[in-house]
Each structure stands twice: as structure tokens, then as C-alpha cells.
Structure 1
């Protein structure tokens, strides 16, 4: 299902790297914080969404 979502994003002109799926237990607070920080940095590096500009 996630692969299909990435394909759909690409078709719609959304960079698929803006999507990320991680399985993290509720007991893994440190891991969640790490993943959230990494993903936030990646999205900031990509820049604003082209979809947002078109809206």
C-alpha cells in the first residue's frame, strides 16, 4: 500500500521522498523523536511543496 501511495504522489507531482513510513512502538520514544527530526530535516531540505504554490 505504501508503494502505491508513493507512486500516486509522483503522478501528482509530489516528491515521493516527502513520504515516509516507520513502524515504531509506543515504548520507543527516543526512536520516534529521532525519526521525526530526520524526516523534518529532509523535508526542509527539499523545500516548499509545488502543490502549495499552485493552490
Structure 2
């Protein structure tokens, strides 16, 4: 994902949370919709209920 401010920032060597150039090529090849947590999501986690 691309929003380290609101969500855990995974390292470049992580097996999860990364989006490589190869994965982007696969997404384009398969006509997947790729979103940006940073730009497309207003809320990532629901606010806590008190």
C-alpha cells in the first residue's frame, strides 16, 4: 500500500504490503483495477465508538 501515515509501513523486503513493478505489469495485463489507499480512501479504519 502507499499510505504509511495511516497504516503500517512495510519494508521493501516484506513479503506483504508491497506492490512491485512486476505485480503492476500483471495487474495491467489482467485488467485489474489498482487503487491507492493514500489517494482513493478517505477512511482506512472506522473511528472508535465510545
Q: TM-score, with normalisation over the residues of structure 1?
A: 0.30
Structure 1 or 2: larger helix share? 1
Q: TM-score, with normalisation over the residues of structure 2?
A: 0.32
Select the structure with the greater relative contact order (CA < 8 A; seq sep ≥ 6): 2
